[in-house]
Amino acid sequence: MENSRLVACAQCGATNRISAEKVAGGHEPVCGRCKAPLSVASASGPVTVTDNTFAAEVERSPVPVLVDMWAPWCGPCRMIAPMLEELATEMASRLRIAKVNIDDNPATAARFAVRSIPTLLVMKGGQEIDRMVGVVPKVELKARLERLLARGATASG
C-alpha cells in the first residue's frame, strides 16, 4: 500500500494502516481493535505524536518522518506550521510529518536533547538522520528532504 498512513487510535492506542485513496473517496476509517473512529486529519496531514505514541507513529513508520518539536507559545513554531501542512500533502506518499508538543511530551523532547524550538528531526527506521533548528524556508526544507529521500536517507546531511 504505497499511499497509506499509520495512525494511532486515540481510544486504545492501536496502530492502524489507513489508505489515503479510501479517505479521499469518502471512507471514514475506524480502529481495527476497538472500532473507534480514527481522525481523518491524521491520514492527510501532520500527525500529533505523544510520548506514548512516538514509537508507533515515528520509529515504526514505513516511510521517513519529519518530526516537528514545537510548543504553542513559540512564534517561529506557529510560523512554520502552515508550511509543514503543505509539505505533509505534497510529500504524503514518501514522507510523514509528525508534531510533538514539547510542553506536553517532555520525555521525547529530553530523549532527543531538544534545546531550541522549532527543532525538525528527520527519522528513518527509528534513527535520527538529520536535524534542523529554527525556521527553515520551505524551498530549502523541501530541497533538503528531497536530497535525503533520493539518497535513501542513510546519513546525516
Among this protein's residues, is 31 annotated catalytic?
no
| In the block, residue with C-alpha cell 479517505 | 23
Q: What is the pLDDT of residue 153?
A: 47
- Candidates 67, 52, 71; CA nearest to 8 is 52
Using CA atoms, how far residue 104 sits from 43, 85, 87, in Å, is 22, 21, 24
| In the block, residue with C-alpha cell 480502529 | 31
Among this protein's residues, is 9 annotated catalytic?
no
The pLDDT tens digits for 7-37 are 766 667 677 788 777 776 777 888 888 988 8
Asked if residues 63 and 5 have their Cβ atoms less than 8 Å apart, the reply is: no
Which domains does the chain show, CATH number per domain? 1-44 (2.30.30), 45-150 (3.40.30.10)
- Given 9, 12, 31, 77, the catalytic residue: 77
CA geometry: angle at 5 spanning 88 and 125, to 5°?
90
The pLDDT tens digits for 82-92 are 999 899 888 87
- Given 12, 31, 34, 74, the catalytic residue: 74
